[in-house]
């Protein structure tokens, strides 16, 4: 009998840890540079970077993934081209990153030499992949600076 109890206790522990894993619906990932586990907004930030900078068809097993707007690089920076660029970025975030919702695009500077500086303002939705619509904080990405403001 004691042997049976030890077995049932171990199997009970395994079941409860599996159950706990199912209850915690986070979207963790792996840091592309260090291999460490990424969770929360740093994972969203890495995902957005990958979404924005990956050419469509670049990933072998996911040819459908990527940014078709990268073909616009080198085009004249007309109002039509900039609007098309923003529409493509908005569509990509809606399709591939449910934990971030773009609220506003701001054009900071565009030069005739091909330089463009933009700010993307949005909401971080930690449980957006579950269709929960509460925002923990608002996010503003401006170049290499990330600004966070409380949503409450």
Domain count, the chain: 1
* pLDDT in the model for residue 78: 84
Q: How many CA atoms lie within 13 A of 63 on its CB side?
A: 0
Q: In what order do the strands lie in the sheet with 116-124?
A: 100-110, 116-124, 137-142, 145-150
Residue 127 dihedral angles phi and psi, to the nearest 5°: -115, 30
In a domain, 19, yes or no: no
Higher pLDDT, 106 or 9: 106
* pLDDT in the model for residue 8: 46
The 10s digit of each residue's pLDDT in 68-117 is 889 888 888 888 888 999 999 999 999 899 889 999 999 999 877 767 88
In a domain, 76, yes or no: yes
In a domain, 145, yes or no: yes
Q: Note down the domain range covering 139.
A: 27-150
In a domain, 78, yes or no: yes
In a domain, 16, yes or no: no
Residue 134 scores a pLDDT above 80? no
In a domain, 21, yes or no: no
In a domain, 52, yes or no: yes
């Amino acid at each position: 009998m004691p042997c049976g109890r030890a077995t049932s206790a171990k199997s009970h522990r395994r079941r409860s840890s599996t159950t706990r894993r199912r209850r915690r619906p986070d979207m963790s990932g792996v840091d592309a540079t260090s291999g460490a586990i990424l969770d929360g907004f740093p994972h969203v930030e890495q995902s957005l970077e990958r979404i924005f900078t990956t050419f469509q068809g670049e990933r072998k097993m996911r040819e459908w993934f990527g940014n078709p707007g990268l073909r616009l690089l080198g085009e004249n920076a007309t109002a039509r081209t900039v609007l098309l660029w923003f529409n493509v970025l908005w569509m990509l975030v809606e399709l591939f990153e449910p934990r971030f919702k773009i609220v506003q695009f701001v054009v900071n500077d565009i030069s005739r030499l091909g330089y463009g500086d933009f700010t993307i303002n949005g909401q971080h939705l930690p449980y957006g992949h579950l269709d929960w619509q509460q925002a923990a904080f608002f996010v503003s990405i401006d170049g290499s600076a990330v600004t966070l403001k409380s949503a409450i």
